[in-house]
Amino acid sequence: MNSIPPLHITSGRRSRPEIILIFGSALAVIAIVAIVTSLLIRERASARDFAARSASNIVQLIDADVQRNTELYDTSLQGMISSWQRPEIRNLTPPMRQLVLFDRSTAAPYKGELLLLDKNGDTLADSLSVKPRTINLADRAHFRAHRDNSNLDLLISDPFKLHSGYRDWCISFSRRMSSPDGEFQGIASGAMRLVYFKELFKSLNIGRDSNVNLINTHGFMLARQPNTGTKDLIGEDFSQSPNFKRVLLEGAGTFVSVSTLDNTERMYTFSKVGSLPLIVVVGQSLEEVYAIWLRNAWLVGSATGILCFGILWLTFLLGRELSLRQKAEYELAELAATDSLTGLANRRRLDQVIKAEWARGLRSGKPMSLLMIDVDHFKAFNDRHGHHGGDEALRKVATAIQQRIRRPGDLAARYGGEEFSVVLAETPLNGAIIIAESIRATIEALPRFANDDQPITVSIGIASQLSQPGDTLGGLISVADRALYQAKRKGRNRVECGVSPAFNPLPRPA
């Protein structure tokens, strides 16, 4: 039975220290997670930047090598044209002319045939044979381009396969051969075997599941390392690939996209080779790019998770201790305010509440009522049934009083001995009379104790007052006491109303 209004410490609610602890711990965890997340995001960006710089270095290395070889080919072609246009060269014996036109550099690994073609596409000189082979290349695109455009300088062809020799994939470097008056006389052409780039790419450490590509601006694959599966991609047309279109549009840079070959997300770093119609593309697997970062992220994330869990767990333990302490304080406060025999509020609690309600009545201008209740003939009852019986009777009276108190703000208390008090906040006299009569009737209807001939009854005195400045609480209590004594003098088991200067009694119901 809880007969006491809420105290300052309320069970079931978190105290201010608990709220501060929980808020502080949550704030600390959020701050830690935010800082670690920010650092991991920054480290991820750093990992990407580092991978992009590494890939860019590879691209630049390949660019330099391709340009160097292109310059060597161009030098050879210009030398061939210059030598052929000198009349005395044509009068040399075929072996001597072969030595003059094609120096030892043409025997370098991965270099293909060097040819001089006349205006009809027939062979004038051949690096692979002292006696030129009977070859006509008038149908080749690079031959037609030089024939139809006198402004072309060095031209690099799309990939093709040689008619003879190694018969593997090549590209050709060619220059126009013109007369002094600009008339087309033929071309000088040199083939480079694309296996050269494949071997060059093999020497580069680009990481697992990554690749290096050389593509011309028409979208044809010239070299790739490593190949995707067993298919050789040399000569494949990627001109319609979204990734190639972006590479061709931007010229140089880095972006992340999904490969159209294996649906793997990669980071592509690319650059055009100088002014040549060639593009180097390094495709790095994102798994490889972020491998170290991901491992560190797992370590840091796990450590952060353990730290945050520890903070929350310690917060929980400390919060539980604070809650237990709060509960203990509440129980102690409740015990300090409770009468141990009846379970009602004790005299100390009664004094606190009646003072608080008196002050509130002064502020609100609403009346306050006080009931003083005394058990009739209690000494005689004690003599008949002993102290144990008397205690049991007091508990039953207390229960009956508490049952008739409906509002949480009202208070039933043990005043002392066999006397009880009821504080009725914001209750006028007529309401106090109704409650008092209800209490009296309920107690009178209690079952007879141990077949006693006399029922347990109470006398009740009522005081009700609209507090005014200058009034005192002691005056209200005195009025209630006088009303109680009047009820006893008039025969007990009755309700009487006291009279005070601020009190206008209403007629008691018949």
Question: Does an H or E element contain 423, and which?
Answer: strand 419-424
Residue 18 annotated among the catalytic residues of the structure: no
Which residue in the block uniquely carries the two structure tokens 């190694």? 166
**Cis omega before residue 226 (within 30°)?**
yes
Q: What is the DSSP string of 25-79?
A: HHHHHHHHHHHHHHHHHHHHHHHHHHHHHHHHHHHHHHHHHHHHHHHHHHHHHHH
Check residue 278 and report its DSSP letter: E
Residue burial 211-232, b: 16+ Cβ < 10 Å; e: rest = bbbbbbbebbbbbbbeeeeeee
- Distances in Å between the Cα of 413 and the Cα atoms of 130, 132, 188, 396 are 130, 129, 120, 14
**Which residues are CB-contacts of 67 (< 8 A; sequence separation ≥ 6)?**
273, 274, 276
Question: Does an H or E element contain 435, and which?
Answer: helix 429-444
Check residue 108 and report its DSSP letter: S
Give the residue among 410, 298, 394 at the shortest CA–CA distance from 354.
410
How far is it, in rounded angstroms, from Cα 220 to Cα 238? 6
Pairing of strands 221-225, 419-424: unpaired
How far is it, in rounded angstroms, from Cα 439 to Cα 373? 9
Sign of CA dihedral 290, 295, 296, 299: positive
Pairing of strands 252-258, 265-272: antiparallel
Q: Reduced to 3 states, what is the DSSP secondary structure of residue 480?
A: helix
Question: Strand order of the sheet with strand 368-375?
Answer: 411-416, 419-424, 368-375, 458-465, 495-497
Rounded (5°) CA angle 395-399-400: 120
- Count CB atoms within 10 A of the CB of residue 25: 19
Instruction: Read off φ and ψ for residue 164, nearest 5 degrees.
Output: -145, -175
How far is it, in rounded angstroms, from Cα 183 to Cα 398? 130
How far is it, in rounded angstroms, from Cα 74 to Cα 155? 10
Residue tagged active-site, from 18, 113, 357, 418: 418
> In this structure, are residues 456 and 374 in contact, taking their beta carbons and an 8 Å threshold?
no
Burial of 336 (0-12, 13-18, 19+ CB in 10 A): exposed
Query: Which residues form the catalytic set?
Result: 418
